[in-house]
Amino acid sequence: MIVTIIGARPQFIKAAVVSKALVELGIEEKIIHTGQHYDEKMSNVFWEELGIPPYEINLEVGSKKHGAQTAEMIQKIEAYVESKREKIKGILLYGDTNSTLAGSLVASKMKPLKVIHVEAGLRSFNRHMPEEINRIVTDHLSDILFCSSQSSVDQLKKESVIGHIYEVGDVMYDAVNAFSPIANRTVNLQSLLPFKEKDFALVTIHRPSNTDHSQNLSNIIEALGAIQIPCLWPVHPRNNTRLETLSLPKNIFTIPPVSYLEMLKLLEHCKVVLTDSGGLQKEAYWKKKQCITLRKETEWIETVRENWNTIVGPNPDKIKAAFNTQPKRSTWIPLYGHGDAAQKIAQQLKTSLYS
């Protein structure tokens, strides 16, 4: 049996395709939901939309400071794993959240359990990001590491990571391919848009480096106000109170968080993406949309190298300049695999854990 630990929106999406692949190969899986995301649009709706297998237990940890949140996760994950230790072959982890870190710390101290990390080898090289610490620690504790690209493989080798490393592509690409047709068929675009214009910018801003620094957030909003098209901003719940004190330009339209299928629909029809998210940079690339990244670095260096992603940080002049520079569609090439990463992961786990 494999125990999968998830707790945040991107992990739900990844689990949807990997869990399906595990079932197809007859691999038993139990899912622990840590409760790290607790908003309906950020959590529960994913089980309905994406067909994720029911979770075994919800730890209901909720939002806390990093230390308290991670400590509570460790305690509760350890108790669950101890109760089923004889049946468990490995702990499957995604990405770089506190849920990931907690799972890796528990499993690494309960050998012979294997620590399995999907999306391994990513680096922003910014140690001020909590996610960077989480991913580095998890990679160095992992026994089986699945990478989205050769760059990630090279980084793990550079760091002398001792686990078994496999380049399989990106499971988010699997998800985009699997769920885009459903989104196009079932989501009503006009119900999401509070304006009639055809061209619009899709905006997501949630990182503390932007939202917790008033000047950075003001700079970004100033730049968005100068863009001559509507900017649609699904607002992360933690930022609602911050926006109450701001006066937004007339071309910025805020809406509540959207589901994954709704986000895919918006991506399909937007003109440009402005984001400080990690996953949305890739999704924009796969949808052949220009991405302007509101950070000073990115883990997804391939999208920058191919000139579809521009790193601007919270700099108004750079944001406006990037908006006025459109990539040439003829330069687009496939990145991060071929949409079969989940199948490759499931097959390798069957070989590594059950042979």
List the structure tokens of 93. 């982890």
Catalytic residue (one of 37, 128, 206, 338):
206
Residue whose entry in the numeric block shows the structure tokens 């294997």:
114
- Say if residue 10 is preceded by a cis peptide, omega within 30 of 0: no
Ramachandran sector of residue 125 (left: φ over 0; alpha: ψ -120 to 50; beta: rest): left
- Residue 145 structure tokens: 């590491």
Q: Which of 172, 171, 175, 159 is nearest to 121 (CA)?
A: 159
* 338 is known as an active-site residue: no
Cβ count within 10 A of residue 188: 9
Rounded Cα–Cα distance for residues 283 and 110 (Å): 36
Alpha helix (H) residue ranges in the chain: 9-24, 44-50, 66-83, 98-108, 130-141, 150-158, 171-186, 208-211, 214-226, 240-243, 260-269, 279-286, 301-305, 316-323, 341-354
| Active site residues per annotation | 206
